[in-house]
Structure 1
């Protein structure tokens, strides 16, 4: 699964890297060294004409749900089943997004303990995780926009850490993924593959990352 990540890249770099046409005010952007489920995550959607940058709640709430708490169970969507699951299949066809990150955390199990690992691109660039989004209206009439990170099988780097990893899209595939007019499932499925392990690296970080209450640059520092 993917249950924790970071995004602290400067705002202008994000705008340029992801070809943003319309964005939230820069003052609303808060670098986050320990993004956790139910928090707001910076994401890109395409409205058919423009790439729009804004925040979505992490944990997808299907429009038919009676309770937003279902979102806590919907932070990830498995690539192998999203075209079939009632919670995700409509979003997969029409409401795809990029969930932005510059690294993610996963816990490597050993006989003694679980070791927090930070995984990132070797060139330190931000990347887009393939995501799905939805809008949900509460009984009180409030509309909540939420999302889920799509996961896939691990690549050669991740296989020693965990049995799943987020789908990280190649930059050249991002616009095709975002375009809501692209509805061919077979073409979309071809994008949901493990990212090239040779472009990634992983290292141990502080146990402080275990708690989502902790959020500081010290969490991303290499221990060994």
Structure 2
């Protein structure tokens, strides 16, 4: 899954990667959380100058997908992710999979390795980023929800897939990554039906990401600085720490027995 991510690239970098004529001006954000506004890339209704391809633009939307048929979002679950394998079959996402596919720019995402219940182990946060740096484009879905008074809210979810070998030891799901050469096909909802882009919703190559253990500061949405991405010593459970102390004592006893 993807419950937190970051975007620290400059607008000019987004314009270059996504072929935008302009981009939203935004500050570096190191701890983007659900319900907050996020930047997404969509295909517009206008064609690029001198091309038949649609122009691309950025929008600010709420991270937390709300289907158009929902009457009261307060009584509806917060959908920040959608499983790519079944999204087209789900009533909440079916229309968006066909008509409103988007790209979600990110510098990387955070994931937590959570121990099984009863083991007494601590959760460990990881900052997962492209090995070569730069911007990654997550596959997403968008929906505009309209209230009874006529006001509208643009909302979005990030599509997920099974994890690759780098992420698997942390979590069994990861965001779907769309490569630059596939941007046009993914965003083309006029001619490319969901079944024709299904091949794009696969795990990223095993060497695409690196996972860096970080502190639990990222758990709090009030923490928003670059230090969230500093590498940290992985947390140890009380039991593991106790075992290490026992091992150290055994090593010392063995060493003493040599004299």
| Shorter-chain TM band | over 0.9
RMSD (CA atoms): 1.4
1:150 Cα shift?
0.2
Structure 1: distance between partners of 2:185 and 2:20? 15
Given that residues 115 and 204 in structure 1 are in contact (C-alpha distance below 8 angstroms), is that contact kept between their aligned partners in structure 2?
A: yes
Of residues 28, 33, 38 in structure 2, which corresponds to 1:31?
A: 28
Unaligned 5+ runs, structure 1 = none
Change (3 A) 1:71 1:46: farther
Given that residues 4 and 34 in structure 2 are in contact (C-alpha distance below 8 angstroms), is that contact kept between their aligned partners in structure 1?
A: yes
Task: Give the equivalent residue in structure 2 for 1:146.
Answer: 155
Given that residues 22 and 50 in structure 1 are in contact (C-alpha distance below 8 angstroms), is that contact kept between their aligned partners in structure 2?
A: no
1:197 alignment partner, SS class: coil
Pairing 1:130–2:139 present: yes
Structure 1: distance between partners of 2:65 and 2:76? 5
Query: Which structure has the bigger radius of gyration?
Result: 2
- How many correspondences in the alignment? 221
Runs of 4+ in 1 over 4 A off after TM superposition: none
Structure 1: distance between partners of 2:82 and 2:75? 13
Unaligned 5+ runs, structure 2 = 46-53, 234-259
TM-score between both structures, scaled by the size of structure 2: 0.82
Task: Give the equivalent residue in structure 2 for 1:177.
Answer: 186
Given that residues 47 and 180 in structure 1 are in contact (C-alpha distance below 8 angstroms), is that contact kept between their aligned partners in structure 2?
A: no
Pairing 1:7–2:7 present: yes
Task: Give the equivalent residue in structure 2 for 1:40.
Answer: 37
Pairing 1:119–2:128 present: yes
TM-score between both structures, scaled by the size of structure 1: 0.94
